[in-house]
Amino acid sequence: MASHATTAPETHGHPALQHHFENMEQQREAGTLGMWVFLVTEIMFFGGMFLAYTLYRSLYPAAFASASNHLDITLGAVNTIVLIFSSFTMAMAVYFTQTGKHRPQVLCLIITLVLGLTFLGIKAKEYSDKYHDHLIPGRLIPGNPYNPVVAEHGDTDPHKLHLIEGATVKQVEMFYWIYFAMTGMHALHMIIGAGLLTYLIIFSLRLRFDPEYHSPVEVIGLYWHFVDIVWIFLFPLLYLLGRHLEHG
């Protein structure tokens, strides 16, 4: 195919085209495909934790409902909306890159990053609340082991653990292991995503992306939406599962 390269159509002249691809479209599709293969490994990775969640929830339904009711539903819902909004601005960033609108593209990327950091800030507030209520499982934090105060019947103190009949403090600890593992891994993905967005913003400002070449924006967008989808499942599974039992 060497002779073919010399009589190439003009898209071959794009500076971002690597020598082992025929044209920009093939290069872009190869990148997208590679990202999807990576996302499959991510699906299986989070899938294992969803499996653990399902198993222990089926073993300790009352404890999971009690522990879930202790989480702050307002902060969880606000974070869901923040993340959905950031997914929308990420999609718009891809759109503006595809259509060659540079300023809105950079603006959308910056908004996405700010929303991602907002999510992490709210998450940090929740983690600190759990720390003060002694709900960090095991001895993850030296000097502050898992030791929640159990509420007596009729006590409405939100900082105490309100156990539904059949639940034990030890079983609730299992919920918090899974809660911190899943939200912690999700938060780590958000931190990595924030780093990737920072890279995108810097390279966008240097005019590296155009309608012909924007695989990094597209591929990091896929990653960002995937992390959003994980949260779409985490929110009802962790925050909402026992709400209908709260006043029963």
Partner 1 sequence: MSEHIVPVRIYLTIFAVLLVGTLLTVWAAFQDFPWQLNTIVAMTIAITKATFVVLYFMHVRYSMRLVWVILTSALFWMGIMFALTFSDYWTRDWIKVGY
Q: Which is nearer to partner 1, 127 or 233 (CB)?
A: 233
Of the chain, the end-to-end C-alpha distance in Å amounts to: 73
Environment class of residue 242 by beta-carbon count within 10 Å: exposed (0-12), middle (13-18) or buried (19+)? buried
Return the amino acid letter for 70. Answer: H
Q: What is the nearest approach in angstroms of partner 1 to the Cβ of residue 144?
A: 30
Return the amino acid letter for 123. Answer: K
Task: Determine the Cα–Cα distance for residues 102 and 107; give it in Å rounded to an integer.
Answer: 9
Q: What is the nearest approach in angstroms of partner 1 to the Cβ of residue 86?
A: 11
> Residue 150 in 3-state DSSP?
strand
Residues of the shown chain interacting with partner 1 in the complex, contacts defined by CB under 8 A? 25, 28-29, 32-33, 36-37, 39-40, 43-44, 47-48, 51, 54-55, 58, 73, 77, 80-81, 84-85, 87-88, 90-92, 95, 98-99, 211-212, 218, 221-222, 225-226, 228-229, 232-233, 235-237, 240-241, 243-246, 248
Q: What is the nearest approach in angstroms of partner 1 to the Cβ of residue 151?
A: 20
Contact 68/169 with Cβ under 8 angstroms? no
Other residues' Cβ atoms within 10 Å of the Cβ of residue 42: 15
Q: What is the nearest approach in angstroms of partner 1 to the Cβ of residue 142?
A: 34
Q: Which is nearer to partner 1, 65 or 136 (CB)?
A: 65
